[in-house]
Amino acid sequence: MMILRITLITAAALFSPLAHCLDLLEVYREAQTQDTQFASARAAHRAGLEKLPQGRALLLPTIGFSANTTDNETDTTFRSANLALSGGNQKFNTNNYTVSLTQPIYNWSNFVQYQEGKIAVTRADAAFGAAAQDLILRAAQAYFDVLGAQDNLTFAAAQKEAIGEQLAQAKRNFEVGTATIVDTYEAQARYDLVSSQEVAAANNLEIKKSALQVVIGKLPASLKPLANGVTLSPPEPNDLDSWVNDAMQNSWQIKSQLAAADLAAREVERNRGGHHPTLDVVASYTDNSSTGDATFGVGSDATSSQIGLEFKLPLFAGGGVSSRVREAEANRERALQDLETARRDVAQRTREAFLGVTSGISQVRALEQALISSQSSLDSTIVGRDVGVRTGVDVLNAQQLLYSAKRDLSQARYTTIINELKLKSAVGSLADGDLAQINALLASE
């Protein structure tokens, strides 16, 4: 009865109408606006999108304007053999402005760089997609870590109170001579041990709350726990190879690395463009005006316009272009190896997550049965102690098994849920809707 009373008190605290309990979706919404890691990824995505207009600009004309104005002052003196005559002082102003235009016709390096801009956008999208999934995972992990820590603290407190009752009863039995001092010592040792476990559980709860604060930017309020009798479903389809094949096609990590490999290949071509000629259309218009000059003292206004083709052919650059090509080729090889590493890593994580879900569901079912058996064992042991066929130590052992089963069942449920999210993340399909499905498993407020 005492265990039931503690459970009811804990439940009343969790579902108190005086305080709103955050659910998983609310925590996720907070994380979307408050998580600094995701905010950084969002800014990096915006920056990555600018690579395309930057590359396009290299193919478009460039127009420039320059202007200057100059004040001039001239003193003139005429000299002969015995005579020097002053020619006077002249002040005048000259103005000049030029408008120029350059339109690339053929520039292989610029064209490849434009293609690189498209690939950079693809890579930025993949990186942001991975960051969005990572936010879902981190928010869910932090959420269920807090719930798990709360459960551990609740179980430790309940076990401490139950052992406290056993300790008090052992002392009374010893005083009346119906039990030995051994039962008292055993109960006291168990009580001291679970007291230390309660302190550790309380400390761990604060740590997990702080970890959640990192994600949502504030200390969390009460969180909704899982509803009683939650049933976890196996993956759909329940086939490991299907999930691995899906991951090879849709994983954000692989997509990002594919873009990186493509970008490295384009970089080789861009650097080889250093050996290619370039051809541009160049045009300019210039206007020169002057209020006077030193010779004739009269103003002038002259305009000129030019249009033509400019051809450039690099002949020798000290071996720098060839060196950059070799460097780009080495980076291309590195990107290909990184791509293969990503594929292997994604396949491994997919297998681990799939097996984590399937084995986790089996473990949950086994622990649910173990919980029923442990409760029955404790009840029968208490009856046996009351009739003198079992000892207080037997009751303590049965209690410990019961609370261990509760703790393990709680953790197994949370781990299985997280593995389900990890499995969907590995194949690139994790989205808000998946989190909403998990949120439906929580108790109503």
Please report the pLDDT score of residue 78 as a whole number.
Answer: 67
Report the chain's terminal Cα–Cα distance, integer Å. Answer: 25
pLDDT in tens, 373-419: 999 999 999 899 888 788 888 888 898 899 999 999 999 999 999 99
Please report the pLDDT score of residue 394 as a whole number.
Answer: 86
Q: Which residues contact 402 (CB under 8 A, 6 or more apart)?
A: 371, 374, 375, 377, 378
What is this structure's pTM? Answer: 0.85
pLDDT at 14 over 60: no
Q: Which residues contact 200 (CB under 8 A, 6 or more apart)?
A: none
Q: Which residues contact 127 (CB under 8 A, 6 or more apart)?
A: 41, 44, 45, 48, 252, 256
pLDDT band of residue 290 (cuts 50, 70, 90) is: confident
pLDDT in tens, 218-257: 988 789 999 988 889 999 999 999 999 999 999 999 999 9
pLDDT band of residue 445 (cuts 50, 70, 90) is: low
Which has the minimum average pLDDT: 9-18, 349-358, 371-380?
Answer: 9-18
SS3 category, 227: coil
pLDDT in tens, 93-120: 889 999 999 999 999 999 999 999 999 9
Query: Using CA atoms, how far apart are residues 299 and 289, in angstroms rounded to an integer?
Result: 8
**Which residues of 230-326 form beta strands (DSSP E)?**
278-290, 300-312
pLDDT band of residue 180 (cuts 50, 70, 90) is: confident
Query: Using CA atoms, how far apart are residues 437 and 431, in angstroms rounded to an integer?
Result: 10
pLDDT at 89 over 80: no
Please report the pLDDT score of residue 21 as a whole number.
Answer: 86
Chain mean pLDDT for the chain: 89
Domains and CATH numbers, the chain: 2-6+19-58+123-276+319-439 (1.20.1600.10), 61-106+278-312 (2.20.200)
